[in-house]
Amino acid sequence: MHPGYPIAQVHLCRAPVGFRKSIKGLSVLVEQELGLDPFSQALYVFVNRQRTKRKVLYWHRNGFCLWLKRLEAERFAWPDERSGVEPISAQQLQWLLEGFDLWRHAPHKTLAYASVS
């Protein structure tokens, strides 16, 4: 991604998409099918059916940016192939790009206490 880009949200598009889609097709998909704002400070992450490629779409100041990663061996971990999106954190996106499976190995649960006694 662009250095210094403020990542407010990351959205995984759960259903695989055809990778012939480029910026225009993916931005229309984000806006019309997912009901999200492609111009927001968010990353939209897509995967192909074989789960060997990922595309990340985002808006930066005055135009769209499209980032692609292709694995030469193995496959990306990905949630169930349902429609819709799954929000994740920027850290979780980094883990996915490194090959970790977020859905098999969940982190510790966050605890929120009101007092210590």
What pLDDT digit, counting tens, does each position of 51-62 carry? 999 999 999 989
pLDDT of residue 48: 94
Q: Which two tokens stand for residue 64?
A: 């769209």
Identify whether the C-beta of residue 38 lies closer than 8 Å to the C-beta of residue 113: no
Asked if pLDDT for residue 37 goes beyond 70, the answer is: yes
Tell me whether residue 51 is exposed, middle or buried, using C-beta atoms within 10 angstroms of its C-beta: 0 to 12, 13 to 18, 19 or more.
middle
What pLDDT digit, counting tens, does each position of 88-100 carry? 998 888 888 888 8
Identify whether the C-beta of residue 38 lies closer than 8 Å to the C-beta of residue 44: yes
What letters, b where the CB count within 10 A reaches 16 and e where it falls short, cover 77-108? bbeeeeeebbebeeebbebbeeeeebeeeeee
pTM of the predicted structure, to 2 decimals = 0.82
